[in-house]
Structure 1
Amino acid sequence: MEAVCVSLWRSRGKGQERERRAALAGQASADAAVAMEAAQVATLEQVATVEGPEPPADKAPPPAPPDLTAAAFFDVDNTMMMGASIFHFARGLAARKYFTSSDLAGFAWQQVKFRIGGRENHDGIQTNREAALSFVAGRSVEEMVDVGEEIYDELMADKIWAGTRALAQMHLDAGQRVWLVTATPVELAAIIARRLGLTGALGTVAENVDGVYTGRLVGDLLHGRAKAHAVRALAAREGLNLRRCTAYSDSQNDVPMLSVVGTAVAVNPDSGLREVARARGWEVRDFRTGRKAAKIGVPSVLGAGAVAGAVAAGLAYRRRAA
């Protein structure tokens, strides 16, 4: 009995620590999203001051009045983009010799086995959380953003789901703000959001000091419950009424995020989310075809462990090179 009690106590302690890290990751992501949005607005205002206002387009419809209490939140991987954004990013980094292609292939295969085996658990993610993004330790945020811009053009721009993009535009046309919510590093998520004309992004936050990455995460990966914490935190900062908000995702792992808003939509859902959506009466949108589903292949199975796996590959390369 004593052993059972000790085991339950330890399990409860682990659960509380996971929740604490998830909350910290969510708060950090919301802070980063607000700061990035403010910086973007300031940049646009500065450009407008220098260049003057744009001439009005002929017969352009007037913009919808801002709807300040409603917003939409979109997952990225297999929801907004075919495959996993971090996998495409890792491919681009490998091409630039941040680590090797064989490391990337090994990482991808491990992720295939990991996901097919159905063992995506928080302990595995927790083991790697301090390793995640550590391959950028000592590099500047500016450098990684510049590289991210290039990789988006090379490997991501043509992988956006047109149907999901149209859903995001529907919210924008209604005067609502639209954020991406993803385990992908927040800087990369912000690039994707900006290129799509969205408001901003919530993503995994890597610690930096004076613009240089330390190689540590703030809290944890923005995954699972951390996404729900991030959405709540952003809603509190932006004055959103979550009952008037909508969230979109493909993964059962995002049920916590989908559950905190008034309207949840399953996009290209995995089997688990399809079942949850059916049980809860959520709308389902599927933009895949058999051909496209087969084409995305390995990237489509990369989930929350992707960041940690890509970094593990990068660290392996650095150890061999040392």
Structure 2
Amino acid sequence: MSLAIFDLDNTLIADDSDFLWGQFLVDAGIVDKDHYEQANQKFYEDYKHGTLDIVEFLHFSLAPLACHEPAQLYRWREEFVETLIKPIMLDAAHELVERHRAAGDTLLVITATNRFVTEPIVKLYGIDNLLATTPEMKDGRYTGRFNGTPCFQQGKVTLLQQWLAESGESMLGSHFYSDSHNDLPLLNLVERPVAVDPDPKLRLAAEQAHWPVISLR
């Protein structure tokens, strides 16, 4: 038995849930189309190029949560998952998760996309353990801020180390599956890094390090 860690966006699902949530808000008329759509696209390009200011992005992406009652947000999120997420779930990803489950491995998703968006998606794969940036709640409402360390780049390593200390899990024999060069700090930490449909920078790094490269598409 070992620890099997999965990235979410463009790894277990065939697109980026953070970006799609922003587009869902635009298409539903929940946010201003011209401003939000342009900013959402720019942040996504910054992410792909490895230049994303994660704190600036979180202030942007979490702001709509503070403008609405949680009950309404959860209804929108349910529609979002049904219409935009379920169609991009991957059969091969399900099979990979189930192989690790059958082997008795501990399953963990660690994702840069915040917990509000990702928690119901991860549950669709039957995975109980999730590390993600946590939106702050106060007096029963989201504040538009976040708690703790953003789960991004080196922050994923920080949050994983905290989780390991709390859970008693071990990195012995650990796997990590990811598509993104932003995850190189964590890929370099595990025993068995795997590049999944990788972006060009990660593909090059994987080839140089002789890591497995697979596709779930």
- The two structures have a TM-score, normalised by structure 1, of 0.61
Pick from 77, 97, 121: which aligns with 2:51?
A: 121
Pick from 50, 68, 84: which aligns with 2:16?
A: 84
* Matching of residue 225 in structure 1 with residue 133 in structure 2: no
- Say if 1:112 and 1:199 are closer, same or farther in 2 by CA, change over 3 A: closer
| Greater fraction helix | 1
Measure how far apart 1:270 and its partner are.
1.1
Pick from 139, 158, 165: which aligns with 1:236?
A: 165
The whole-number CA distance in structure 1 between the counterparts of 2:44 and 2:137 is 31
- The number of equivalent residue pairs is 217
- The Cα RMSD (Å) is 2.3
- Say if 1:225 and 1:193 are closer, same or farther in 2 by CA, change over 3 A: same
Equivalent position of 1:286 in the other structure: 215
Equivalent position of 1:304 in the other structure: none
Identity across aligned pairs (percent)? Answer: 26
Equivalent position of 1:214 in the other structure: 143
| Greater fraction strand | 2
Equivalent position of 2:119 in the other structure: 190
List structure 1 segments (4+ residues) > 6 angstroms apart after TM superposition.
none
Partner deviation per Cα, 1:132-179 (whole Å, 9 max, x = no partner): 402211544454334222211111101022222221111111122212
The whole-number CA distance in structure 1 between the counterparts of 2:56 and 2:86 is 32
Secondary structure of the 1:121 match is: coil
Measure how far apart 1:75 and its partner are.
0.8
The whole-number CA distance in structure 1 between the counterparts of 2:59 and 2:24 is 22
8 Å CA contact 1:266–1:282 kept in 2: the answer is yes
The one-letter code matched in structure 1 to 2:197 is N
Measure how far apart 1:269 and its partner are.
0.7
The one-letter code matched in structure 2 to 1:84 is D
The one-letter code matched in structure 2 to 1:234 is W
Q: How does 1:1-322 map to 2 (within 5 A)?
A: 67=1, 70-111=2-43, 114=46, 118=49, 120-121=50-51, 124-137=53-66, 139-288=68-217
Rg larger for = 1
Measure how far apart 1:126 and its partner are.
3.8
Measure how far apart 1:109 and its partner are.
4.3
The one-letter code matched in structure 2 to 1:98 is I
- Say if 1:212 and 1:173 are closer, same or farther in 2 by CA, change over 3 A: same
- Say if 1:95 and 1:131 are closer, same or farther in 2 by CA, change over 3 A: closer
| Structure 2 unaligned regions, length at least 5 | none
Measure how far apart 1:89 and its partner are.
1.5
8 Å CA contact 1:142–1:211 kept in 2: the answer is no
Q: Relative contact order (C-alpha < 8 Å, sep 6+): which is higher?
A: 1
| Structure 1 unaligned regions, length at least 5 | 1-66, 289-322
